[in-house]
Amino acid sequence: MVRIRLVDVEKNFGSVKVLKKINLEIKDQEFMVLVGPSGCGKSTCLNIIAGLEYVSSGQVFFDDADVSYLPPKERKVAMVFQSYALYPHMNVRKNMEFSLKLAKMDKDEITKKVESAAKLLDISTLLDRKPGEISGGQRQRVALGRSIVRDPTVFLFDEPLSNLDAKLRIQMRGEIIKLQRKLKITQIYVTHDQVEAMSMADRIAILNNGSFQQIGPPSEVYNKPINKFVAGFIGSPSMNFFDAEMGPSGQQEIIFGEHKYPVSNEIISKIKKNPSDKVILGIRPEHITITPNKHDNSFEVTLTVVEFLGPDTMVTFEFPDKIQGMVAVPGFYDAKMDDKGYISFPMEKIHVFDSETELNLIHASDQKEPNINYKK
């Protein structure tokens, strides 16, 4: 298989810098997911690895070979697209055979490879059908099969599940993960869907505005986001953010609006390394506790929206000073709009961000990797 490295890679389209000196190492047999909002540069990054785009500066390595300006056919990669890119006039078998025939492979070897891939993907009964005669999920399996028969060194996925309905997306996520385990091949997967990223990746590389924000296992980027962008992008629903400031010297508290939140000496010592007293308090909706009765260190709120979703109830709340937030309650929460409630924030779950740089003051020092620009 192959280890892939991007070293100081930049990509410009005219005067627009799409990728800004990015560095990334993808380990042999790793499932790496590139995630970020639309326009952040993730598909361009994938295209550069594939050879569909060349770098403006920097280098791309497959193992120790510099492939920065090699065409796609010399990189031995297989790419699976959102649109499947199947030939509609050919049946499934011919679609899977096509690249092997172009390579002038022996006919018996082609048959063997196609039937082996079809069996692996459970599409053996579809080989004589055309793409228009099978479902979206089956077409995606055919696209995977067409890639598998080429024995690539790396699989590249560009938003491959976006055209599928919710149920099929979940099913195909599982299929792709199982495929990774069976083939033991390096895979790079691009998506804007952070749920896909969290559920599939060995590691996640989070892009924003052409720069990597954080690279790490899903649990790390969720529990210890490097900055406010990562904290807000990873997790659904998004993290709550409250503009705040440190309490007067000698007092262990963070003040947001009219509210004082007591914090430990350990947290204060980390935050005080920051020269500014202006901070942003962050807490995920699923980490907030809400009850109908007042308790120690709780804040009174008014419930403005209560949405029962089955496994969870999403409750939007408002403080008396009109600051709003959201809490995710497991199961059914028996309340209605305009009810009073009392929320509390577990201290071990809070995040504190610098208001200017937006770095996580509690966890940022633990997460830095070389060659990533952590500035806002």
Q: Which tens digit of pLDDT belongs to each residue from 202-212?
A: 999 999 999 99
Backbone angles phi, psi at 296, to 5 degrees: -55, 135
- The number of beta carbons lying within 10 Å of the beta carbon of residue 295 is 9
Q: Which tens digit of pLDDT belongs to each residue from 4-30?
A: 999 999 999 999 999 999 999 999 999
Q: What is the mean pLDDT of the chain?
A: 89
Q: Which tens digit of pLDDT belongs to each residue from 106-153?
A: 999 999 999 998 988 889 999 999 999 998 888 888 888 888 888 888
Residue 232 lies in a domain: no
Question: Any idea what the CATH number is for the domain that residue 300 is in?
Answer: 2.40.50.140
Q: What is the DSSP letter of 186?
A: E
Whether residues 144 and 51 share a domain: the answer is yes
* CA dist list (Å): 151 to 54, 130, 217, 367, 371: 24, 24, 27, 36, 32
Considering 189, 223, 257, which residue would you say is the last residue of a domain?
223
Above 50 in pLDDT, residue 185?
A: yes
Whether residues 196 and 241 share a domain: the answer is no
- pLDDT at res. 364: 67
Strands 77-81 and 154-158: parallel
Comparing 83 with 253, the larger pLDDT belongs to 253
Above 50 in pLDDT, residue 370?
A: no
Residue 230 lies in a domain: no
Whether residues 127 and 56 share a domain: the answer is yes
The confidence band for 375, taking pLDDT boundaries of 50, 70 and 90, is very low
Q: In one letter, which amino acid is 226?
A: I
Q: Which tens digit of pLDDT belongs to each residue from 31-48?
A: 999 999 989 999 999 999
Whether residues 12 and 99 share a domain: the answer is yes
Residues 182-198, mean pLDDT to the nearest whole number: 90
What's the domain range around 259?
237-367
Above 70 in pLDDT, residue 367?
A: no
- pLDDT at res. 73: 85
Whether residues 210 and 280 share a domain: the answer is no
The confidence band for 170, taking pLDDT boundaries of 50, 70 and 90, is confident
Question: Any idea what the CATH number is for the domain that residue 133 is in?
Answer: 3.40.50.300
- pLDDT at res. 232: 95
Cis amide leading into 237 (omega within 30): yes
Residues 354, 331: Cα–Cα separation, whole Å: 34
Q: Among residues of the chain, what percentage have pLDDT more than 90?
A: 61
Give me the residue label for tokens 């947001």. Answer: 256
